[in-house]
């Protein structure tokens, strides 16, 4: 048994959840927050048989593509009284961070 922990952008979470459930994978959804942009993320916890791990990973890879997004990043201007001037920056968002962990024991009550 394996535990797949996938951290995906909120924008990708719903279609990923639908596809995983459509393929009969049990999923637990947790709301989480990303560090860099403080944007909403979703953490999915998926218990799966060892033989099905590649199927889960392929679903995640197909649906959670990384993409570029323009966001405002506040820059401190040192020459003016500590004010912040936002300026647009292009950042990479989306994709997925995935951990696959061995599960020693699984019980469902």
Instruction: Classify residue 36: in a domain, yes or no.
Output: yes
Residue 34 is predicted with a pLDDT of 67
Burial of 82 per CB tally in 10 Å (0-12, 13-18, 19+): exposed
Given a cut of 80, whether residue 28 has pLDDT beyond it is: yes
| Number of C-beta neighbours around residue 36 at 10 A | 10
Given a cut of 80, whether residue 74 has pLDDT beyond it is: no
Predicted TM-score of the model (pTM): 0.74
Instruction: Classify residue 108: in a domain, yes or no.
Output: no
> Mean pLDDT across the chain, nearest whole number?
83
Instruction: Classify residue 107: in a domain, yes or no.
Output: no
What is the distance between the alpha carbons of residues 76 and 81, in angstroms, rounded to a whole number?
Answer: 9
Residue 95 is predicted with a pLDDT of 80
Tally the domains of the chain.
Answer: 1
Show the domain range for 85. 2-102
Question: What CATH number is associated with residue 58?
Answer: 3.30.70.120
Instruction: Classify residue 109: in a domain, yes or no.
Output: no
């Amino acid at each position: 048994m394996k535990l797949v922990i996938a951290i995906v952008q909120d924008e990708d979470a719903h279609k990923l959840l639908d596809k995983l459930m459509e393929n009969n994978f049990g999923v637990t959804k947790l709301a989480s927050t990303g560090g860099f942009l403080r944007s909403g993320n979703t953490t999915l916890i998926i218990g799966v048989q060892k033989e099905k791990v590649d199927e889960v990973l392929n679903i995640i890879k197909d649906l959670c593509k990384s993409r570029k997004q323009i966001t405002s990043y506040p820059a401190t201007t040192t020459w003016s009284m500590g004010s912040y001037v936002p300026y647009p920056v292009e950042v990479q968002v989306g994709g997925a961070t995935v951990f696959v962990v061995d599960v020693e024991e699984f019980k469902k009550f």
